[in-house]
Amino acid sequence: MHDADSLPGTDAPVVAADAGVTFVMPVLNERDYLLRAVRAVLQQDVAPRPVELVLALGPSTDGTTELARRLADADSRIVLVDNPAADIPVGLNLAIRAGRYPTIVRVDAHSDLAPDYTRDALETLDRVRAANVGGIMRADGRTPFQRAVARAYNSPIGLGGGAYHGGAHEGPAESAYLGVMRRAVLEEVGMFDESIRRGEDWELNLRIQRAGYRVWFDPRLAVTYWPRESWTRLVRQFFATGTWRGELVRRYGRRNSVRYFAPPALVVLTVFALVIAALQLAGVLSGPWSLVASLAYVPIAAYVLLIAAVAIGPGGGTGWRDKLWTLAVLPSMHLAWGAGFIRGVLRGAQDTVDTSRLGTRNTPLP
């Protein structure tokens, strides 16, 4: 265990033991997830602290807004604010400003908090005097496709091995999944950057650390995340996320981890191998030069074998459909993210949005 006296950096402000907690959740087309997520928030045991949940409502088309209004009518702890722009950082800032309390807990309609999540996070904030604390994202699924996506999220092969996908040791972190934050620090660093539509949490945590404060990872904190439910939505989500990571590389350069460059490298290698194959089939490349050029297939073959091993192995699921979807999901995530990254680096993210959240109809959760 750690305490603030033994850690470098500036201590975040202390709040009173009975000070309230504001949960903030941007929402867009989440009718089939919203009720479950709201219940998980309102069941958090943080007594004697008062709580409120501020929902930032985007222009949903699936009945989400109507459901949110019914929930707010039934429970005075739920506060609604309009987010006509639908952008996540805009919604987060609107919700934070509408809230009353000194500790902010970011939540997501696709995520369920463990019952003791907030209580443990508050204890960690006080103990290490961090400005932001996050834990582990444990993806889960109900259908073979969604389970395959969840396994990809939970695997170091899927998303590059960031601490919040499976870290075991408490300590300083590059960023924090969702996050439990001190309002005073958020206001000091300027809240979320509304010009960044994806990766806004990473950029915020960069500014928090530049201001001298601690961002902290605590593996005791667990959040269940429900991934996208179809292949097309997954690809759109990852292309948009990769594009914005490319934008962040343009803005912040070497501040970005080396692991972010693996998917675009895979895209480049794949395109190069396809060009070589086309030239060989056309007879342009032949003889010794063709043999030399065939070395381009080696990293692609190694990647295919790795993906097959993950799909067939213990992490690939028990049913054949789960395994087949894992074979499709992993390269889809990597190639879509990598292609988006290259676009973002070359052209900038511009007005790229995550269209997987627009006009959707989800698989209901129990």
- Domain identity same for 175 and 298: no
Q: Is residue 240 part of a domain?
A: no
Indicate the average pLDDT of the chain.
90
Section 123-142 average pLDDT:
93
Residue 359: its pLDDT value, please?
Answer: 55
Residue 58: its pLDDT value, please?
Answer: 95
Give the model's confidence band at 357: pLDDT under 50 very low, under 70 low, under 90 confident, else very high.
confident
Residue 255: its pLDDT value, please?
Answer: 80
Residue 366: its pLDDT value, please?
Answer: 43
- Domain identity same for 323 and 192: no
Q: Which domain-ending residue is among 197, 229, 261?
A: 229
Section 146-156 average pLDDT:
88
32: CATH: 3.90.550.10
Residue 57: its pLDDT value, please?
Answer: 97
Q: Is residue 179 left, alpha or beta, with left meaning phi > 0 and alpha meaning psi from -120 to 50?
A: left
Q: Is residue 109 part of a domain?
A: yes
Section 171-195 average pLDDT:
95
Section 149-157 average pLDDT:
87
- Domain identity same for 141 and 270: no
User: Please, are residues 53 and 39 in contact by the beta-carbon 8 Å criterion?
Assistant: no
- Domain identity same for 186 and 91: yes
Tens-place pLDDT, residues 235-257? 999 999 999 999 999 999 878 88
- Domain identity same for 83 and 177: yes
Section 52-79 average pLDDT:
96
Q: Is residue 361 part of a domain?
A: no
Q: Is residue 241 part of a domain?
A: no
Q: What is the pTM of this model?
A: 0.88
pLDDT at 173 exceeding the cut of 80: yes
Q: Is residue 186 part of a domain?
A: yes
pLDDT at 161 exceeding the cut of 70: no
Give the model's confidence band at 116: pLDDT under 50 very low, under 70 low, under 90 confident, else very high.
very high
Residue 146: its pLDDT value, please?
Answer: 92
Residue 330: its pLDDT value, please?
Answer: 94
- Domain identity same for 20 and 80: yes
- Residue 310: exposure state from Cβ atoms within 10 A (0-12, 13-18, ≥19): buried
| Domain housing 264 | 249-356
Q: Is residue 37 part of a domain?
A: yes
Question: Of 132-146, 289-303, 312-326, 332-346, where does mean pLDDT reach its minimum?
Answer: 312-326
Q: Is residue 362 part of a domain?
A: no
Q: Is residue 364 part of a domain?
A: no
Section 143-154 average pLDDT:
90
- Domain identity same for 83 and 215: yes
pLDDT at 61 exceeding the cut of 90: yes
Report the number of distinct structural domains present in the chain. 2
pLDDT at 221 exceeding the cut of 50: yes
- Domain identity same for 96 and 192: yes
Section 330-341 average pLDDT:
96
Q: Which domain-ending residue is among 229, 261, 291?
A: 229
Give the model's confidence band at 363: pLDDT under 50 very low, under 70 low, under 90 confident, else very high.
very low
